[in-house]
Amino acid sequence: MALAQSILRETLALCAWLVLLSVIFIPLERLWALRKQNVRRKSLALDVAYYFLNSTVLTLFLALPLSVVAWLLAQVMPASAQAIFTGLPVPARFAVALVVGEIGGYWGHRWLHEIPALWRFHAVHHSAEEIDFMVNCRAHPLDLMFTRICGYVPLYALGLLQPLATAPDPAMMGFVVTGRIWSFLIHANLRARFGWFEHLLVTPAFHHWHHSRHDHVDHNYATVLPWIDRLFGTHHLPKAWPAEYGTDTKVPETLTGQLAFPFRRD
C-alpha cells in the first residue's frame, strides 16, 4: 500500500511538472518560434515517454551507486579540504558547485561524443530532427546516468554535494533545480538572441548548434556556462542558426528500438 501511494505521488508530481513546463514553454515557442512546427510534432509522444521513464529510472538506479561513490570519496578526501567548501556561504557554494559541476558535466558530455561506444547511447538524444523544449527528455537512461555521475563526482570530492546528509542543502537544491530547468530552456524552439548575455549563460542559440546535423555537433558541450567551451576550445556561436538538426547515425524511431540500439552489434 505504501509503495503504491509513493508511486502515485511521484507520478502526480511528474505530471504537475510537465504541465508547468508546458504552460511556460508552449506559449513562448508559439510567440517567438525559430521554426514553424506543430506543437504535436513528430516524435513528441516518444519524448513524453522518455520524460516519465528517465525520471523514474534515474531515481531508482542512481541513488545507491551515487551514495556509495560519495561515501568512498569522503573516506579519501581530507576533511579539512572539504571543510573549505562546505563552510562557504550559500551563494558562494552555489556558484562553486555550478562551475565544478559544469566542468565535470562538460567532460562527461564530450566523452559521449568522442568515444564510439558511448556515442551509441548519446545518438538517441541527437536523433531529434525538430527541436523544442521536450527534446531535452529524449535520452537513453544510461546516457543520463553517465553524464550525471561525471557532473556529481567532483562535487562529492569537494564535499559540496552530500547525498548522505540528513538535512537538504539549499545551495545544492538550487544547483540541481537550476540545471534541470535550464536544460529545457536551451532546447526550446526560440529565435531570441541575448547579446552579451550569451557569453555568460548558455542560450538556445548556443545549444542548437550542438544539435546541428553535421558541422558543429562536436562543439558547445556546456549546458549552463558557455565560457567552459571557450576554455577547452569547443565554443561556436555565430549569428546564424543551424540549417538542420539530427544525426547521420541510424537510430530506430521507437522507444524499445532506441533503448536496445546501443547494445546491437550492427
pLDDT in tens, 45-55: 999 999 999 98
pLDDT tens-digit map of 192-238:
898 889 999 999 999 999 999 887 889 999 999 999 999 999 999 99
Q: For the ranges 79-83, 115-119, 152-156, 204-208, which has the lowest average pLDDT? A: 79-83
pLDDT tens-digit map of 163-192:
666 666 777 777 778 888 899 999 999 998
Predicted confidence band of residue 157 (pLDDT cuts 50, 70, 90): confident
Burial of 191 (0-12, 13-18, 19+ CB in 10 A): middle
**Closest alpha carbon to 40 in 125, 127, 128, 132:** 132
pLDDT at 250: 94
Q: What is the mean pLDDT of the chain?
A: 88
Give the whole-angstrom CA distance, residue 8 versus residue 29. Answer: 31
pLDDT at 164: 61
Domain limits, the chain = 44-263
Strand partners, 212: 245
Predicted confidence band of residue 77 (pLDDT cuts 50, 70, 90): confident
Per-residue pLDDT for 61 more than 60?
yes
Give the 3-state secondary structure of the chain: CHHHHHHHHHHHHHHHHHHHHHHHHHHHHHHCECCCCCCCCCCHHHHHHHHHHHHHHHHHHHHHHHHHHHHHHHHHCCHHHHHHHHCCCHHHHHHHHHHHHHHHHHHHHHHHHHCHHHHHHHHHHHCCCCCCHHHHHCCCHHHHHHHHHHHHHHHHHCCCCCCCCCCCCHHHHHHHHHHHHHHHHHHCCECCCCHHHHHCCCCHHHHHHHCECCCCCCCCCCCCCCHHHHHCCCCCCCCCCCCCECCCCCCCCCHHHHHHHHHCCC
Identify which has the larger pLDDT, 78 or 34.
34
How many CA atoms does the CB half-sphere of 197 hold within 13 Å?
A: 7
User: Distance between the two ends of the chain, CA-based, in angstroms?
Assistant: 44
Grid cell digits, residue 86: 562546505
pLDDT tens-digit map of 88-98:
888 888 889 89
**Closest alpha carbon to 163 in 52, 51, 54, 73:** 73
Which residue is listed with cell 537513453? 140
